[in-house]
Amino acid sequence: MDENTVSNGNEQDPSKSSRRNFLKNIGLLGAGVTAGAAALYSGDIFEKKKAATGESRVLLTQDNKLVEVDSLEMKALATNPTKMMLEKGREGIPGKRWAMVIDLSKCRNARRCIAACQEAHQLKPEQYHLNTLQMQDNAETAPYHMPKNCQHCDNPPCVAVCPVDATYKRGDGIVLIDNERCIGCRFCMAACPYSARIFQWTTPKDAGKHNGEAYNVELNVPQKLGTISKCLFSADRCRDEKLPYCVSACPNGVYYFGDENEDAVTNGTTKETLRLSKLLRDNGAYQLMPELGTKPRVYYLPPKNRLFPFEPSTD
Amino acid sequence: MEKIISDLSHHIRLNKGFFLWMGFLGLALIACLYAYIQQLSYGLGVTGMRDVVSWGLYISNFVFFVASSLIGMLISAVLGLIGMKWVHPITRIAETIAVAFAAVAGLVIVMDMGRPERLAYVFMYARFQSPILWDVTVITTYFVISFLLLLLPMIPDLAVLYKRFGNLPGWLKPVYKALSLNWCNLPEQNRIIRRSIYILLILIIPAALSIHTVTSWLFAFTTRSGWDSTIFGPYFVSGAFVAGTAAVIIAMFFFRKNYKLQDYLTDLHFNNMGKVLVLVAFVYLYFNINEYLVPGYKLKRADAVHLRELMSGQFALIFWLVQVCGLLIPIIMMLFRRMRKPLPLTIISAAVLLGAWFKRYLIVIPTMSHPFLPVQHVPENFKVYTPTLTEIAITLLSFILVLIIITLISKFFPVIPIVETANDKGLDPLKSIES
Ligand code: SF4
Ligand code: SF4
């Protein structure tokens, strides 16, 4: 990155050490500077205009420090937004371990979560990042509806088999796909035991409309022909400290979402925040096919004490 | 001596039959290329694959191609190294088939990619945890070794043909000269070539075992029932020998008839190849019993669904045709000497080869059709996989390419090693030419 080359260059040249210190102090602005504060300090301009006369501006650096910089010393950062988002999307959100809890006793197959998800990720009606399945464990037990998304496995077989590192696991637990890199071999689809992945077989929805838009790896949009897509735990919303699209859209209080490190999850409908460990312990939480060793980050609460009759889905 | 050389080289000429055949292949190639262009412009949606069955014809065809290419190693290396003299006239046919199938297998995989233009990423962003990387590595290695094993033993032959050119097409002369690398039968040259071939013959054994074992791991490394098996490596390798042996027998039959090689590819060769086929088919049958009986005895939930679909469900017809007409009946028939005569053996081999292709289909598609979790709220064509015409045409494209490669190699180079054949009869063609 630019600032690295600048500071490295200075290390070999003691005469510029004051400038180096200065650069260090303001904690150079990088590719990830948040809205309104994107600027890169230009060494050249500084050399030429030591006695800067412009008005000063207050900026927020990448590590959340406020700094004052003379406006003449600022230069808009010429960046490729897709690349910027790709780089940012490789890093998890520091300190977080996202987890989801799905309370099956509340799911009435309203499918609003699915609609919100398909809307956000530009999916066609038959493309699911999240699907509710009608389940029945055996002939004697009661049928129930089960929302099923990517389990964001901690030992993800899909990531293991990807030949180009297009699908990857982040520090905050989210498994993402870089559609700018995916070669469309679909090995990850074969490897995922939860059938969580979909492929863009045909031209994605509204492809024409989104032509030329920057690609957001944390949202997988615009969707790209010939590549993979799947649930992203709404990584873009996590970054904004908001609940995922599906979680907020559910009218029945099925979803809880939150940070395992904080041991807190929030219900998307009631906005009530609970202790994750207690919720899991008190309700006999389980995971899908844990025997496969995939270590899912999604927990299910069993479909007991349902306060409504079961209505079979039409499919 | 003269007779051997002219017998083994007189097919090297441009005749009407060749042009007709190549013209036919060329036209078919263009038609199928059109299908591939369709796929390039509209995406993999032109195939019958969807989110449930996300690997289809192309991947099963890929497995078949890798399988067929393995025969080079069985004939030249295994049978050759243990001193079976009768395989000498067949080695080049086996290597030709190996080279053709291995080369096209690489293309088949590219045809299956959603983003073929990103092929270079496989090397740029290579991740060695992925079995795909291993597959790319070993297939390339195998292709190179097979190619060398086709080329090196041919050097003395080409030197002979160059020196005693006869009425071969003139433009081939410089080709032979270049490829024969100034061979003049010096003891030193002989020593080097023998050593190199020997080393290659040994190297090709692990390479060949790797390509098919790694290919089987593309499946066995997943948890899906039907693929989640520890015997997939040897199961695939033994199946590969069945497919490849059948392919070689068919090729022998055509070369013998069209290139008039009856004196060199004799009933004895067919008889022996028939025995090889019986042997490998028995081994394969054994692995088949293992592969179905072990999960069938326990009937774990997902395995039960898989086996039911195979044996009495949607895939039952293909399954039983493959097992009975593609494996059982051929084995029984080939136990009789009469059935190992050229014509009946070729017909049996055709059934075996067809069965082998459909067997790959049965390995890939049924498992994909029945994932662990139910398939719901999707259109009908997601649930049942039906290959489209475009997809079939693209699959045919790969076969046409194989036929073109085999035709070209066999038409412009001696199909049967000349010097080796002469040596086996105690003659030395180069000496006799020079004297
Ligand atoms: S659920 Fe499937 S796609 Fe999601 S992380 Fe696990 S293996 Fe990968
Ligand atoms: S389809 Fe894309 S994401 Fe999946 S394994 Fe292949 S390259 Fe990786």
The 3-state secondary structure of B339-389, one letter per residue: HHCHHHHHHHHHHHHHHHHHHHHHHHHHHHHCCCCCCCCCCHHHHCCCCCH
Q: Does A202 sit within 8 Å of B54, measured CB to CB?
A: no
Query: Whose alpha carbon is nearest atom 8 of ligand 2?
Result: A162
Tell me the two tokens of residue A301.
């609460």
Ligand 2 lined by A235 (C-beta under 6 Å):
no
Tell me the two tokens of residue A234.
């709404």
Which of A158, A187, A230 best tests ligand 2's pocket when mutated (most atoms within 8 Å of CB)? A187
Going by C-alpha positions, the residue among B364, B78, B367, B409 that lies closest to residue B244 is B78
Q: What pLDDT, on the 0 to 100 scale, is given for residue B434?
A: 65
Q: Do the domain assignments include residue B392? A: no
CB count in 10 Å sphere of residue B221:
19
Residue A300 in this model has a pLDDT that exceeds 60:
yes
Q: Do the domain assignments include residue B386? A: no
Residue holding tokens 């906005």?
A: A271
Q: What pLDDT, on the 0 to 100 scale, is given for residue B197?
A: 94
Q: Do the domain assignments include residue B385? A: no
Q: Which residue has the higher pLDDT, B257 or A54?
A: B257
Q: What pLDDT, on the 0 to 100 scale, is given for residue B432?
A: 66
pLDDT level of residue A31 (50, 70, 90 thresholds):
very low
Residue A315 in this model has a pLDDT that exceeds 90:
no
Q: Does A199 sit within 8 Å of B51, measured CB to CB?
A: yes
Which ligand has the nearest atom to the CA of A186? 2
Phi, psi of B230 (to 5 degrees): -90, -10
Contacts of A288 in chain B (CB under 8 A): 373
Residue A44 in this model has a pLDDT that exceeds 50:
no
The 3-state secondary structure of B300-319, one letter per residue: CHHHHHHHHHHHCCCCHHHH
Q: Do the domain assignments include residue B234? A: yes
Q: What pLDDT, on the 0 to 100 scale, is given for residue B435?
A: 56
> What is the average pLDDT value for chain A, to the nearest integer?
84
Q: What is the CATH number of the domain that holds B374?
A: 1.20.1630.10
Tell me the two tokens of residue B242.
């069945």
Question: Which of A148, A202, A313 is the closest to B45 by Cβ?
Answer: A202
pTM for this structure?
Answer: 0.88
- Beta-bridge partners for A241: none
Residue A30 in this model has a pLDDT that exceeds 80:
no
Q: What pLDDT, on the 0 to 100 scale, is given for residue A75?
A: 66
Question: Which of B114, B132, B373 is the closest to A199 by Cβ?
Answer: B114
Going by C-alpha positions, the residue among B301, B293, B312, B294 that lies closest to residue B372 is B301
Q: What pLDDT, on the 0 to 100 scale, is given for residue A212?
A: 83
As a whole number of angstroms, the distance between CA A107 and CA A100 comes to 15
Chain segment A167-193, per-residue pLDDT in tens: 999 999 999 999 999 999 999 999 999
The count of structural domains within chain B is: 1
CB count in 10 Å sphere of residue B253:
19
Contacts of A164 in chain B (CB under 8 A): 118, 121-122, 124-127
Q: What pLDDT, on the 0 to 100 scale, is given for residue A14?
A: 43
Contacts of B113 in chain A (CB under 8 A): 183-185, 226
Q: What pLDDT, on the 0 to 100 scale, is given for residue B356?
A: 97
Q: Do the domain assignments include residue B70? A: yes
Query: Residues B144-161, buried b or exposed e (16+ Cβ, 10 A)?
Result: ebbbbbbebbbbbbbbbb
Q: Do the domain assignments include residue B387? A: no
Residue A42 in this model has a pLDDT that exceeds 90:
no
Structural domains for chain A = 3-90 (no CATH), 98-301 (3.30.70.20)
Q: Say what the ipTM of the complex is.
A: 0.92
Q: Do the domain assignments include residue B390? A: no
Q: What pLDDT, on the 0 to 100 scale, is given for residue A23?
A: 43
Q: What pLDDT, on the 0 to 100 scale, is given for residue A2?
A: 42
Residue holding tokens 């090693």?
A: B417
Across chain B, which has 435 residues, the per-10-residue mean pLDDT values are: 85 90 97 97 96 96 96 89 91 96 95 96 94 94 95 92 82 90 88 94 95 96 95 96 97 94 95 97 97 96 95 96 97 96 97 97 96 95 96 97 96 92 84 65
Sequence-ordered list of residues with C-beta below 8 angstroms from that of B325, at least 6 positions apart, any chain: B351, B355
Which range of residues forms the domain containing residue B405?
A: 2-379+399-433
Largest CA distance in chain B: 81
Q: What pLDDT, on the 0 to 100 scale, is given for residue A11?
A: 41
Sequence-ordered list of residues with C-beta below 8 angstroms from that of B183, at least 6 positions apart, any chain: B155, B156, B158, B159, B189
| Any B CB within 8 A of A185 CB | yes
Q: Do the domain assignments include residue B167? A: yes
Going by C-alpha positions, the residue among A133, A129, A147, A130 that lies closest to residue A230 is A129
Chain segment A195-244, per-residue pLDDT in tens: 999 999 999 998 889 888 899 999 999 999 999 999 999 999 999 999 99
Q: Does A225 sit within 8 Å of B377, measured CB to CB?
A: no
Residue A53 in this model has a pLDDT that exceeds 60:
no
What is the arithmetic mean of pLDDT over A254-280?
Answer: 97
Residue A165 in this model has a pLDDT that exceeds 80:
yes
Q: What pLDDT, on the 0 to 100 scale, is given for residue A60?
A: 73
Q: Does B44 sit within 8 Å of A201, measured CB to CB?
A: yes
Q: What pLDDT, on the 0 to 100 scale, is given for residue A45?
A: 43
